[in-house]
Structure 1
Amino acid sequence: MNSVLRHIKAVLETGSVAGASRKIFVSQPAISQFIHRLEQEYGITIFDRSTSPWTLTEEGAYLVQCQERMESIDRECRLYFSERNNLKTGEIIIGSTAYRTATLLNPVLAVFKKRYPNIIVKIMEGTTEEIIDFTRERAVDCCFGITSMLTNDLESIRVFRENVLIAVSAEMSCVVREKRSVRQGNEFPLIEEASLDGIPFIIMKRGQVFHTYFETLREKFNLNLPIALETQSILTVPALIATGIGCALVPSTIIPDCADNNLKLFEIADTIPPNDVSIAWIKGKPLRQTTKAFIEIARAELLRLPFNRIKETAEEETDGIKTK
């Protein structure tokens, strides 16, 4: 981050020069003088000092936007030249939820860093919606996004599939009912959706795809599903269910965690489709060599995961990847 952004964002994030001084370890007079010089140089007022905390003026906000674009162009230039050296150096920024980092990104990075040890990898984590926004705003090179949530301005390639299940505690399993009809090939019994009525649910916070799935289940069957608790990370859900406070929708990826907590799993008949995950990037923007190398390794390594339900086709094998 250049010095202009560093000083302005420190004041913006803390709300004052005093707070910025503590954040970036620069004296208050030095920060005040730096901002004053910027305002004189551009002939503008950067901060509205009449508010507490300080906020950006319209001119200050535009200055930050311009500086961020300049920062992005500088990074693009540096990465272009570093990649001409056969990926001996470089950088990649990946958008991911904490759950995808733990279950998908970690095994991929183990191989990627072994093959390209000098490429710097940065991870920007957020909710399912936030990481898609990171990609659209070019804050990351690519992201692990839910395929159904990707926007039209992104290109993508599908790399992973998981089923959506309902998990209940051993004590609560006597309350819910199984459907009498069983479809061939089911790994778990089908749940009778009406038997869920009135049962508390542990749900994900808004912005996560599993929050949307909960709303779909509730609305489709007109169920009264009290919310027992909201959480940010799906990885905490099996242990929460085991306490008996509620049941939850869970991905098949965490079946081992559910087994460790002695949970019973059910499938849902034709209500929620399989959860497809894609690696996505800006449409029309040729992929840099580092991003292309990461995607190629990710596709190969994720197909080896025993809990990946994806059935790759010849069309998917070549879909969408463009390089400089």
Structure 2
Amino acid sequence: MGFSALEILTAIEDEGSFRGAAEALGVTQPYLSQFVQRLENECQGTIVDRTNRPLRLTELGQFYLESRRRIAMIETETSRFCADYAHLQIGHIRIASNGERTNAMLVPGVSEFVRRYPGIHVELTLENHLEEIPDILLAGKAEIGVLFEGLMKKGLNAYPLYRERYLFAVPDTEFFADVGCRYNEERQYPKFLDADSKKLTTLPLLQTVLHHERTLLLSRAVGREFTNLNMDVRQLGTRLEFVASGICSAICQESLIGPYAARTNCRFLSMEDVLPIQTVVIAWNEHVYQSRASKILCEMIKEGLKGQKQYKI
């Protein structure tokens, strides 16, 4: 059986002689002497100071031995890390999404994943517009991203989660009593183009940060001019609060409305006759290694959405 330089030099250091080291390792003294000689030729210097009794390692020998010990420690840590990683005991997954979509759809799957694999750190701190997420994934800044299928770019892969439509929200007031209906689990809403266009354009439209073009789109669709509220609001929950206050109308994603109490003071119209229904997907960079943990988390997110009516594809 062959021994490593670490084992042999440690034995010489502990025993203080070639004979003692040979006996401790169960090899012959000539074998040990020849091994050290080859090592000294390789290192181009003296490893063992043979003039002392007991024998000592030279400065070069001590450095070499400590280096071997550090290497052995790194190899042990690497093996342990690989084993823990393979068994999903450690790891790190970054999800590119936003707080509202996380609240509405990711919580069930992520919660189950964290219960099963508590050693894996799941990062949900990335706050992104859907339009930003493809480039984030392609740049390797996140392992998983939630976006619309229509935003997919070359180099990304994904599978569909659910179909999402846009709703048009107005205040639940007497004036709008015949416009749309309240939020409901049956997902039954009158169509936007069937509503009274004069009433639809009575209030200014509250905009998101990225979609000011929708004002013109809606104006063309109903044949009357929509105006903008002089405000941009990114968060859907905040937009619903402003609608409920009676100062504006707004466009919102149906699947994200549920968590917000302000929905009870709003009325909604389906916009599928103006804005296309979108397929929400969970995506990843197909040119970057996707860990087993990341794949399992994707599956759990998908499973967590099953049975929820508003998410069926």
Q: How far has the Cα of 1:120 moved from its partner?
A: 0.7
Q: How far has the Cα of 1:104 moved from its partner?
A: 1.5
Matched with 2:307 is 304
Matched with 1:249 is 251
Q: Structure 1 stretches (4+) deviating beyond 6 angstroms?
A: none
Task: State how far apart, in whole Å, the 2-side matches of 1:140 and 1:93 are.
Answer: 5
1:205 counterpart = 2:206: no
Matched with 1:6 is none
Matched with 1:119 is 120
RMSD: 3.0
1:260/1:282 Cα in 2 relative to 1: closer, same or farther (>3 Å)?
closer
Residues 173, 264 of structure 1: 8 Å contact kept: no
Task: State how far apart, in whole Å, the 1-side matches of 2:214 and 2:83 are.
Answer: 43
Task: State how far apart, in whole Å, the 1-side matches of 2:134 and 2:174 are.
Answer: 36
Deviates more, 1:150-159 or 1:192-201: 192-201
Q: How far has the Cα of 1:127 moved from its partner?
A: 1.6
Q: How far has the Cα of 1:223 moved from its partner?
A: 4.4
1:110/1:237 Cα in 2 relative to 1: closer, same or farther (>3 Å)?
same
Q: How far has the Cα of 1:148 moved from its partner?
A: 1.3
Q: How far has the Cα of 1:275 moved from its partner?
A: 2.8
Structure 2 unmatched runs, 5+: 1-77, 181-185
Matched with 1:159 is 161
Letter aligned with residue 282 of structure 1: N
Larger Rg, first or second structure (1 or 2): 2
Letter aligned with residue 235 of structure 2: S
Residues 237, 262 of structure 2: 8 Å contact kept: no
Q: How far has the Cα of 1:256 moved from its partner?
A: 6.3
How do residues 1-324 of structure 1 correspond to structure 2 at under 5 angstroms?
A: 81=82, 84-123=85-124, 124-171=126-173, 173-174=175-176, 187-191=188-192, 192=195, 194-195=197-198, 196-197=200-201, 199-206=203-210, 216-221=217-222, 223-228=224-229, 229-253=231-255, 254-255=257-258, 257=260, 260-268=263-271, 270-310=273-313
Q: How far has the Cα of 1:171 moved from its partner?
A: 2.6
Letter aligned with residue 92 of structure 1: I
* Secondary structure, aligned partner of 1:248: strand
Letter aligned with residue 147 of structure 2: G
Q: How far has the Cα of 1:238 moved from its partner?
A: 1.6
Task: State how far apart, in whole Å, the 1-side matches of 2:236 and 2:298 are.
Answer: 24
1:287/1:216 Cα in 2 relative to 1: closer, same or farther (>3 Å)?
farther
Deviations 1:149-180 (A, max 9, x none): 121221111112222111110237539757xx
Residues 165, 271 of structure 2: 8 Å contact kept: no
* Secondary structure, aligned partner of 1:297: helix
Structure 1 unmatched runs, 5+: 1-76, 179-184, 311-324
**Alignment coverage as a number of residue pairs:** 225
* Secondary structure, aligned partner of 2:110: helix
Task: State how far apart, in whole Å, the 1-side matches of 2:178 and 2:227 are.
Answer: 15
Task: State how far apart, in whole Å, the 2-side matches of 1:269 and 1:246 are.
Answer: 21
1:153/1:239 Cα in 2 relative to 1: closer, same or farther (>3 Å)?
same
Task: State how far apart, in whole Å, the 1-side matches of 2:131 and 2:87 are.
Answer: 34
Q: How far has the Cα of 1:144 moved from its partner?
A: 0.7
Q: Percent identity?
A: 22
Matched with 2:58 is none
Matched with 1:181 is none
1:216/1:282 Cα in 2 relative to 1: closer, same or farther (>3 Å)?
farther
Residues 134, 140 of structure 1: 8 Å contact kept: yes
Residues 167, 248 of structure 1: 8 Å contact kept: yes
Task: State how far apart, in whole Å, the 2-side matches of 1:285 and 1:177 are.
Answer: 49
TM-score computed with the length of structure 1 as normaliser? 0.61
Task: State how far apart, in whole Å, the 2-side matches of 1:82 and 1:204 are.
Answer: 46
Residues 213, 272 of structure 1: 8 Å contact kept: no
Deviates more, 1:139-148 or 1:167-176: 167-176
* Secondary structure, aligned partner of 2:311: coil
